[in-house]
Amino acid sequence: ERILWKINSSFKTKNWSTPESGGFIWHTTGSGKTLTSFKAARLATELDFFIEVFFVVDRKDLDYQTMKEYQRFSPDSVNGSDNTAGLKRNLDKDDNKIIVTTIQKLNNLMKAETTLPVYQQQVVFIFDECHRSQFGEAQKNLNRKFRRFYQFGFTGTPIFPQNALGAETTASVFGRELHSYVITDAIRDEKVLKFKVDYNDVRPQFKSLETETDEKKLSAAENQQAFLHPLRIQEITQYILNNFRQKTHRTFPGARGFNAMLAVSSVEAAKSYYVTFKKLQEEATSKSASYKPLRVATIFSFAANEEQSAIGDIT
């Protein structure tokens, strides 16, 4: 309702193509984000003054997943494409369907096509996850090419001034918050399980940091050196091995327990942890024949931008 109200009010005042004509929705896990975004997109296609409604995702797997979900809600309600040429063909269709595309295909289209009729028409953009990958080149091209657009973003992790790496925030790009359903709401409604956070200080002590008194320099040094330092990775890995059975409730006879996930910031970090797990468990096995090593697997996500390659690919 708020998205449609925002579109209608902005259209009547001719206040399009600005953050004031859009907004973002802060919805966490368990909120029914896919269904909500689909309904908003579907209702937007029924407005008399709109030509196209784009639902924009940032990866090919989400592109396919969204298509499947939307088709489940309403068969034949969306158009998808395998490439930029397919996206351009969808724009030529007059079928009032939602166009599902990746941010990369949309950006490639804008770079390749200088003049398209849709650039001058009323267009709605709904972004599945309005995070930093929508703050760059594609957003600049969108603002440059499309003359009458309204954009809305769904996110579980909005960027505020206090956690922004640069000048841009979710609100500065997409507009003000229109609705929120945060993690505490999901826990209250029993949509997600409660969680417990254990804080452990396992930072190795570097000689250069022990004598550093400038807080800004100290923080920068920690960020650049500490997170991937072998001693830090070894301490964390050893802590996991020492506490895995207890933390995953496997200490009781016959208990199957749970599995666990370790999230890291890069492919390089994932490789380092994997190698360290293997090394420490081989050492433990050589010392005790009764030691049962954990099975450790790595999962890698490609960079959001298809034109980029992930640094540190596995070979």
Identify the structural domains of the chain with CATH numbers, from first to last.
2-188 (3.40.50.300), 196-315 (3.40.50.300)
Which three-class secondary structure state does DSSP give residue 25?
strand
Which pLDDT value is given to residue 311? 39
CB 132 within 8 A of CB 159: yes
Mean pLDDT by 10 residues, the chain (315 residues): 89 91 88 80 83 77 57 57 77 76 86 89 87 72 92 88 77 91 89 79 51 50 69 92 89 81 89 96 94 91 46 35
Residue where the block lists tokens 């640094």: 311
Q: b/e map of 238-273 (b: 16 or more CB within 10 Å)?
A: eebbeeeeebeeeeeeeeeeeeeeeebeebebbbbb
Task: State residue 208's pLDDT score.
Answer: 52
pLDDT value at position 80?
62
- Nearest-10 Cα torsion for 58, 59, 64, 66: -30
Residue 57 neighbours by CB under 8 Å, 6+ apart: 63, 66, 100, 101, 102, 103, 127, 128, 129
DSSP 133: G
